[in-house]
Amino acid sequence: MSFLSCYHHCFVTASYGVLTIGMVFGWSAPAGPRILEDGEGNVDLSDDQFSWAIAFMPVGGALAAIPCGLMMKSEGRKNTILFFVLPLLLGWVLLTWAQAVAMMYLGRLLQGFAAGAYSMSVPIYIGEIADQRIRGTVGSFFQLMLNLGMLMSFSISVGVNVFQLNIISGFIVLLFGPIFMLMPETPPCLLKRGHKTKAIETLKWLRGPKCDAFSEIELLQTQQDALLNQPKKSLKKSLITPETLSALFAMIGLVTFLQMSGINAVLFYATDIFMVFGTLVAAFTVDRVGRRWLLMISAVIMCASHIVLGVYFQLLHTNPAQVENLEWLPVLALSIFVTLFSIGFGPVPWIMIGEVFAIDVKDLASSLATFTSYALSFMLSKTFNPLRNGLGEAGTFWLFGGFCLLGAIFVFLFVPETKGKTFDQIQKRLASSRMYYRAEK
């Protein structure tokens, strides 16, 4: 197998797990009207009960974040990803044959466990096996497969009922486990467990027999030995080093602005096709343009889209005649927003989570960022309708636009560039007091 085919095979297979999570995210949009209005399924649900069924998924994601981090540390990246196939599959089983509301809640909660685990473990897995030159490109597979999973759920639902949609979704999960079992553990994880020869073999399989796998593993070994030879520090002390605090602040900030960008509100009105297109653009630009520029451009244009949407809905409410020939405007604004989200704030935070943390704190620090993201997702899923009722559609879009603008400023001030940089270079930059918007010497 050639170098590129090994790389792509491994990345696509790992990201296939994220496709199954995308189908979890995409399930509620086609399933909701059929369950609530057409009476499909064995359980009669009210609107409020179904909203809780949706909300239990991010609850599961938040609850799984810390245990997943501990599991990655003790069991490795590959085994952690494989383990969470079980709750994901069981979640589809419970949704398919639910006889009570509690079974649906439990099914969504279990699916949320897997969603939270894969949001953290897959980017780390990809980041640890990727060559630094194409780390961002292959990292974009995460968001691409998430979007494809949502699009698949929407598309499949056109020709099947909810029961059949659940069966197909569960079958896709069932295929993932055996396929991913054929993938290797990451070289850094193998090295940390003392399997140096296996780490070299894995790196040669990924990069091709002509790569200098021995030198790269020796460098990793030196970095890990340096950590081991340092005075023994508790996990708490490791978390409060300048580079870790800087990375944690940046990543928690990014996932906060990801959720507060209003993506869930926009998807209430838009389809997912533009997210697939945007992520394809991100895959080809993230290692050329850089993470910071993609994030800032994404945030500024998302802000502008929210402003346009807010103005349109305000005029629609106060003077409909002014916008009666502008039906194309909200469609254009929504399309631009979703595309730019998928170029920047959709994929890039998850790429960077796999890049910026030292190996001794990566699992727990990534858990904290993932917990923040899913906790905010739950909060927004339960407050969006009251927010829209209180502020109106225009006010809600303007509020999210403000958060997008704050997100751009946050990236400008606090988020480092990681494009094409080694782990040591990233850590030195994080530990430096030099502001990120100033040119590096």
For 288-318, the pLDDT digits (tens) are 777 888 899 999 999 999 999 999 889 888 8
> In the numeric block, which tokens belong to residue 436?
């990120």
Cα dihedral 341, 345, 351, 355, rounded to 10, equals: 160
Q: Are 252 and 341 found together in one domain?
A: yes
Alpha carbon distance 205, 202 (integer Å): 5
Rounded to two decimals, what is the model's pTM? Answer: 0.81
User: Does residue 54 register a pLDDT over 60?
Assistant: yes
Query: Could you tell me if 278 and 382 lie in one domain?
Result: yes
Residue 2 has pLDDT above 80, yes or no: no
Are residues 326 and 420 located together in one domain of the fold? yes
pLDDT in tens, 365-375: 888 888 999 99
- How many folded domains does the chain comprise? 3
The amino acid sitting at 148 is L
Q: Answer yes or no: is 157 within a domain.
A: yes
Cα distance from N-terminal residue to C-terminal residue, the chain: 41
Whether 189 is in a domain gets the answer: no
Asked if the model's pLDDT at residue 275 lies above 60, the reply is: no
The verdict on 90 and 215 lying in the same domain is no
pLDDT of 161 higher than 60:
yes
**Sorting pLDDT into bands at 50, 70 and 90, what band is 208?**
confident
Q: Does pLDDT of 402 surpass 90? A: yes
In a domain, 188, yes or no: no
Q: Please state, in angstroms and rounded to a whole number, the distance separating the CA atoms of residues 78 and 56.
A: 26
> Is residue 6's pLDDT more than 90?
no
Say if 333 falls within a structural domain.
Answer: yes
91 with 224, same domain: the answer is: no
Percent of the chain with pLDDT over 70: 85
The verdict on 161 and 301 lying in the same domain is no
388 shares its domain with 340: yes
205 and 61 in a single domain? The answer is no
Tell whether 429 and 308 lie within a shared domain. Answer: yes
Q: Answer with the residue of higher pLDDT: 54 or 132.
A: 54
3 pLDDT band (50/70/90 cuts)?
very low
Quick one: pLDDT at residue 438? 46
Does 350 have pLDDT greater than 60?
A: yes
pLDDT band per the 50, 70, 90 thresholds, residue 355: confident
238 and 216 in a common domain: no
Say if residue 59's pLDDT is above 90.
Answer: yes
Same domain assignment for residues 178 and 306: no
Using DSSP's 3-state secondary structure scheme, residue 78 falls into helix
Q: Which domain holds residue 97?
A: 1-183
**Same domain flag for 288 and 355:** yes
With cut-offs at 50, 70 and 90, classify the pLDDT of residue 424.
Answer: confident
Answer whether 251's CB lies under 8 Å from 356's CB. yes
The pLDDT value given to residue 322: 82
